[in-house]
Chains A and B, each alone.
Chain A
């Protein structure tokens, strides 16, 4: 630990420690605690984390831009020792239990602890009537710990610990209502789909350590520069590709997005915190964190951009036809994450992070407001059974309106700035990808206002029984809504004039040299010179893409705003003015509507291609187990043993015992025959004696006769 650091920067390791302490208390002995104590402990620990995050952020800001990096290494975690890298050189593998705070992780911890704190407070009201209150908060705090580990880790392996931790908490919280089959199934689905991505990520980590000899973030950039890797080097591209596989799983991109809509089975605060604001952005964070690798892999970047754009469009189209309020938001989340990846692929890393932050505000708020609506309607989630709620739950309506305007990209709300930034960069990267993003922006505005109109405007379609119980949510739920609404409005302003990008710049451009870097083997003096050239070359490339003509920027901005208002207008026309039209349109293109309504049958296709094939494989292996292992193996051995023992019994019975019985039988038979000599008549014995005597004499005389002659 660096003693020269200011207090908060020297104690960033405490930030994840607070939530894990309360999580441990909740999960070990939470059952005995009263709800008030649970709320106080869990919200208190997150509040402490938030305070430390703000403190650390302020102290980081106070440093000069070039020195904004604080590292706390608690202890060495895996001192695995030397190993051979791909090129045969020796490297020393080491993973620390180490935390690092730079502008990127500073943004992330502020978002995570800030939004996390608000959602914790919201949960006090929302989960107050539910069973398992302590369990919910325990999991939520465990999630906070994992997420903070993820964003504060100073190496890939520790990041992976957080990565798996948030996945586990996501699983636990999606399946929070575990007695409901759909919820527990959704939890398993999320976990398994994530696992596919995780496998890719893990392989990427292995490959990084094999190729670069280090997994510390601060050393990756210098190692890449020192390794003289050409731009587009297939090994570096492979790493970037594998990392992106991990990102598609965690951040719900094509083809691994299928778990996120199902994840809406979890309680609404969970959807807001984990499946909108924080965890699903882990993939974005990870790609930005390893941006030095991606910069050397243009083809991987292109893939990221294309997948991001396609996911954005694809998910938005499904969001248009959903009727479940949370499902609409889920598809919207997937779509917005697609935006972020589009930005990353286009090289606009800070724009991606910027959108990540504003998205955390407005999507968190949308989910919380949706939760408030659901709460007001006693659990109803179907938008076809809502309507005309704007007067009855006015505060919820106003906050949701702010969030909807923000996500639709209406200036000057948060979403406008971040989305405009992404579209601008996408336009310079590839006009076609920009077009997809632009259309998606219109669809986003459309489906969000469709949601707003169906929920709050028009005729009331609320069930009669539910109608009487409509009530505004308690203050503990409303205060987070209001705070987030304010952030939705003002949150984008920090991006004006490139201030946000400038703040993040050190992470993207400067490859820091630290004392730990000495462990990365260099190839000698010419390697160092070459790396310096490569760095300059990279920075020239980046600068070349950065500036843009102001007129072009204005035109793009105008286009974004125009399509946003077009989407809003269309939603207004279809769901306020001519409410009969949507059904007609759906009918007129029935086939296509059905296709989209059933989510392009992707789940069914996956079931047919992978899930059922995996089940077939399991059945086949089961049959193999039963028939070959159990049948031929175990039962065969049993049969063989029985057979051998039967042979042994036969041998024992007939050969061993048999020979004895044969002996006894022979003795018996002899006795049986000879017993008839025993007549009992003394004269018979006498006769025998005489016969014997005569026989003896005859023999004797016969012998004597021979002797004489």
Chain B
């Protein structure tokens, strides 16, 4: 079927939006779980970028990298949630501004 092709700029803009949302989420939200989720958004923005250029250049390497990143994100979520769980058991909080043990 001959559907009109979606131009690469659209993908990039989506990716940029997702990335920006993720960065802002990491910077402004105090709940570390939400910050973790924002990081997932940033990763997925990268994935979209990789996919878009893979499609544009007809190169499968980008897709391979994207799968790697998805795997990595899953591992990161597992470790990150584990740390958050351990921290919560000690301090009974999930707010990042109360995690200030490493300050001067």
Contact = CB atoms under 8 A, between A and B. Distances in A.
Interface string B62-104: 0000000000000000000000000000000000110111111
Contacts of B102: 678, 680
A678 B99 contact: no
B96 A683 contact: yes
A75 interface: no
B104 A675 contact: yes
Nearest to A674: B104
Contacts of A676: 104
A684 to B, nearest CB: 10
A202 to B, nearest CB: 95
A697 to B, nearest CB: 12
A544 interface: no
A551 interface: no
B100 A681 contact: yes
Nearest to A687: B27
A690 interface: yes
Interface string B12-27: 0000000000010011
A681 B27 contact: no
B85 to A, nearest CB: 17
A496 interface: no
A406 to B, nearest CB: 123
A225 B5 CA distance: 157
B96 A682 contact: yes
A680 B103 contact: yes
Interface residues of B, number: 14
Nearest to B98: A681
B27 A679 contact: no
A686 interface: yes
A679 B97 CA distance: 10
Contacts of B97: 681, 683
Contacts of A686: 26-27
A681 B30 CA distance: 10
A363 to B, nearest CB: 113
Contacts of B100: 679-681
B101 A690 contact: no
Given A675-B104, A678-B102, A678-B104, A690 B96 contact: no
A678 B96 contact: no
Interface in A395-413: none
B65 to A, nearest CB: 21
Interface string B34-68: 01000000000000000000000000000000000
Interface string A683-702: 10011001000000000000
A690 B22 CA distance: 12
A678 B103 CA distance: 5
Nearest to A679: B103
Contacts of A687: 27
A343 to B, nearest CB: 118
Interface in A650-679: 675-676, 678-679
Contacts of A681: 96-97, 99-100, 103
A680 B98 CA distance: 9
Nearest to A685: B102
A690 B23 CA distance: 8
A683 B96 CA distance: 8
Contacts of A683: 26-28, 30, 96-97
Contacts of A675: 104
A690 B28 CA distance: 13
Contacts of A679: 100, 103-104
Nearest to B30: A683
A683 B26 CA distance: 7
Contacts of B26: 683, 686
A682 B102 CA distance: 10
B79 to A, nearest CB: 16
A682 B103 CA distance: 10
Nearest to A678: B104
B96 to A, nearest CB: 5
B24 to A, nearest CB: 10
A676 to B, nearest CB: 6
A63 to B, nearest CB: 125
A680 B101 contact: yes
Nearest to B28: A683
A680 B95 CA distance: 13
A680 B27 contact: no
Contacts of B27: 683, 686-687, 690
A495 to B, nearest CB: 126
A696 B12 CA distance: 20
Contact of A680 (B23, B28, B35, B99): B99
A683 B35 CA distance: 10
A679 B23 CA distance: 20
A682 B99 contact: yes
A676 B103 CA distance: 8
A681 B101 CA distance: 9
Q: Indicate the member of A675, A676, A683, A687 with the most B CB atoms within 10 Å.
A: A683
B35 to A, nearest CB: 8
Contacts of B104: 675-676, 678-680
Contacts of B96: 681-683
B81 to A, nearest CB: 16
Q: Indicate the member of B26, B101, B102, B104 with the most A CB atoms within 10 Å.
A: B104
Nearest to A680: B103
A679 B100 CA distance: 7
A222 B103 CA distance: 119
Nearest to A675: B104
A675 B102 CA distance: 11
Nearest to A677: B104
Interface string A223-236: 00000000000000
A690 B20 CA distance: 11
26 contacts: A675-B104, A676-B104, A678-B102, A678-B103, A678-B104, A679-B100, A679-B104, A680-B99, A680-B101, A680-B102, A680-B103, A680-B104, A681-B96, A681-B99, A681-B100, A682-B96, A682-B99, A683-B27, A683-B28, A683-B30, A683-B96, A683-B97, A686-B26, A687-B27, A690-B23, A690-B27
Interface of B: 23, 26-28, 30, 35, 96-97, 99-104
Given A679-B100, A680-B104, A683-B26, 4 more contacts: A678-B103, A680-B103, A681-B97, A686-B26
Top 8 closest pairs, chain A to chain B, by CB: A680-B103, A680-B100, A675-B104, A680-B102, A678-B104, A682-B96, A679-B103, A686-B26
